Amino acid sequence: MAEMTLRDAMTKALKEALDTDERCFLMGEDIGAYGGPYAVTRGLLEEYGEERIRDTPISEAAFVGAGTGAAMVGMRPIVEVKTINFSLVAIDQIVNHAAKLSYMSDGQISVPLIIRTVTGGVGS
C-alpha cells in the first residue's frame, strides 16, 4: 500500500466520492479558490467547477441547513465546517434536523449528508 499524508488521503476520498456519484458536491467556507482548511480541497474547484465545489458565506447554520435540504431531495452533499467549534453554531440543524428527519418522518425522508470538520493540532 502506498504511503500518503492524511491530507492526501482525505483529498483522494473526496475526489472518489465526486467521481463516483454526480449528485455529490462539496460546500463550505473557503473550500474553492482557497483550498479549505489544511488545503484538503485545493485544486478541486478547477477540476469539478463551481456547481460541485461551492464556497459559502460565513454562516454555518445556513450552509448546514442547505446541505440538509439538498440531501432530502436526493443530492449527496459533503458539508465542510471550518473547525469543530464552529459546528456548534449549526447544532440545531445537525441534531434537530439532519439527524432526526428520518425518524420523524417514519423513514419517508432520508438525509444522506456528510459533515466534515477539523479538530486537533497541526504538524508536518
- Whether 124 shows a pLDDT value over 80: the answer reads no
| Three cell numbers, residue 103 | 425518524
All structural domains of the chain with their residue ranges: 23-48+59-117
pLDDT class of 123 with cuts at 50, 70, 90: low
- Whether 76 shows a pLDDT value over 90: the answer reads yes
What share of the chain in percent tops pLDDT 90? 89
For the residues 9-20, what does the mean pLDDT come to?
97
For the residues 20-35, what does the mean pLDDT come to?
96
- The per-residue pLDDT of the chain, averaged, comes to 94
Query: CATH: 3.40.50.300, 2.60.40.10, 3.40.50.970, 3.20.20.100. Which one for 23-48+59-117?
Result: 3.40.50.970
pLDDT at 121 (0 to 100)? 64
